[in-house]
Amino acid sequence: MSEASEPSALPTREQAAEPAHPLRKIFDHANDAILLIDPERDRILEANTQASRMLGYDPAELTRDVRVSSVHPHEMERLRQFAQDVKARGQGWTDELSCMRKDGLQLPSEISASVVQVDGRDCIVAMVRDVSARKAAEAALRRSEARFRAFVENAGDGFFLVASDGRILDTNSRAAEMLGYQRAEELVGRSVLEIDVGLTPETFAQLLAELEIDQPKLLESRHRRRDGSVFPSEVSLCAHGEAQAPSYIALLRDVSQRKTAEAAIARLAEMGEFAAMMVHQIRNPLSTLRMALDYLGRQSLTDAASKRLTLAQRESDRLGRLLEDVLAYAGRRTVSPEPVALDALIRALLPSLQALPSVADRRLQVDLGVPETEIQADPTQLREVLINLVVNACEAVAAGEPVSLRTARQPGTASPMIEVRNGGEPIPPEVLARIGKPFFSTKDTGNGLGVAYVRRVAAAHHWVFSLESTADSGTVARLLL
């Protein structure tokens, strides 16, 4: 048969009689591309409108000039094998072939084919669907699943996917590690009742009944490791999926360290309360002793007795100051912030500062550089911080030496800062690292509680406190507010 009179299983438009053959309408208006091909002669005998659109050819051009091999230039071997399978079975399906458009774009395709007889020859009717969008969506889904799996595997918490009957459907390596298993697969299929000490079948059923879809619930419990040991835990449980048949996601966190820290903090709070109570208990008899010493000081004493009395009075005063410092440090840091004009507060504090014995004979240089600035601070605690910093700086230098107190903007920002600077010998790095620890001091009469108090107040206000000491710049205490 010549190319001008190729056989056709369907009536051509020229051959179609009135009324139009119903198969021709189906053929022309199908959503999928439909091609009638003769694989042996490498010819496209018929093609519908969707095939022309999909492959980018004019309808006449597609049947006149285009060869099957030009649509599958790199897959002819696979196409021949598919055609042979279709001929052998009478029909076939594949999603392993692609179609090349006229513009060279490769389209992944899904092909359903069957054998038809055309003028005594075995030809193939192929219904071809462009699955580019589906393939892209599947690839995106695989990437998303890979990212999710990577997230789950690298999460700090144990991950569990749980069925409504309590069976563990999936989990991650962190969960296995937390519970003492070698591999996550060892947990799959087990019941959560085996690992959650606080659950019973009844409480588990009640818990699931209370959950709402995509509304996580945070629980505290205890979990059992493979070796039988138990640890305190925190579980975030969430139902997802269809309300009629949900699955459950649980995130497990080992809170052993947090519980230990909370217990330590509670113990420290108790110790602080105990210290405050002891200070109050000691101050009353100390006041009585001081009154007795003052009374003795008004009596006629020998020189030796007078010297001993003076020493006792001085030590009594030192013990009193120590008790006040312990009380200030051990007390609860309840902050009552209010707007405070920083420079105005310092200006009002200056007379009291300059009257202190350790400050009076030093040259206190004040430079207030943020006159219009207000900060949120507890004014009483801020005053105590300033007194501590200035007194420490003054006690570190000899009489007549300068000590500077200044306020300014932090470099590159609008936030204020306070700096207290003194000269003298620089503090060695190993000593500088310990300053601020209670009862560590470089002064004979110091107790280290002054800087410790400053650090506590700074932390309570979320300020940043730093202490630097070099031969060039001296020692600088800085509060970033």
Radius of gyration of the chain from its Cα atoms, rounded to whole angstroms: 43
User: What 3-state DSSP class applies to 46?
Assistant: strand
Q: CA–CA separation, 164 vs 247, rounded Å?
A: 6
Give the contacts of 155 (CB within 8 A, at least 6 positions apart). Answer: 172, 174, 251
State the pLDDT at residue 280.
65
Phi, psi (degrees; rounded to nearest 5) at 128: -115, 130
Torsion, CA 137, CA 142, CA 145, CA 150, rounded to 10: -140
Torsion, CA 461, CA 464, CA 469, CA 470, rounded to 10: -150
CA angle 231, 234, 235 (to 5 degrees): 120
Phi, psi (degrees; rounded to nearest 5) at 468: -125, 150
Q: CA–CA separation, 269 vs 255, rounded Å?
A: 21
Q: CA–CA separation, 403 vs 350, rounded Å?
A: 13
In the sheet where 416-422 sits, what is the strand order?
Answer: 363-368, 402-409, 416-422, 474-480, 464-470
Rounded to the nearest 10 degrees, the angle between the axes of helix 256-297 and helix 303-330 is 150
State the pLDDT at residue 20.
55
User: Cβ-count burial of 36 within 10 angstroms (0-12 exposed, 13-18 middle, 19+ buried)?
Assistant: buried
Q: Rounded to whole angstroms, what are the CA distances from 45 to 86, 110, 371?
A: 18, 20, 91
Q: CA–CA separation, 420 vs 394, rounded Å?
A: 10
Q: CA–CA separation, 321 vs 122, rounded Å?
A: 110
Cα-to-chain-centroid distance, residue 297: 66
Which residue, among 78, 113, 115, 83, has the nearest Cα to 97 in the 3D structure? 78
pTM score, two decimals?
0.45
Q: CA–CA separation, 278 vs 268, rounded Å?
A: 15
8 A C-beta contact, residue 220 and residue 252:
no
Q: What is the DSSP letter of 426?
A: P
Amino acid present at 135 = K
Phi, psi (degrees; rounded to nearest 5) at 476: -125, 120
DSSP β-ladder status, 363-368 and 402-409: parallel
Give the contacts of 344 (CB within 8 A, at least 6 positions apart). Answer: none
Q: CA–CA separation, 289 vs 323, rounded Å?
A: 15
State the pLDDT at residue 443.
60
Q: CA–CA separation, 241 vs 331, rounded Å?
A: 52
State the pLDDT at residue 2.
37
State the pLDDT at residue 17.
40
Q: Compute mean pLDDT per 10 residues along the chain, 481 residues long, and list them.
A: 43 46 75 91 92 92 91 90 91 91 93 91 92 88 80 81 91 92 93 90 90 89 92 91 85 89 75 69 79 86 88 81 67 76 94 88 93 91 90 89 93 89 86 67 59 83 90 89 89
Cis amide linkage into residue 19, ω under 30° from 0:
yes
The first and second tokens of residue 165, run together, are 């009957």
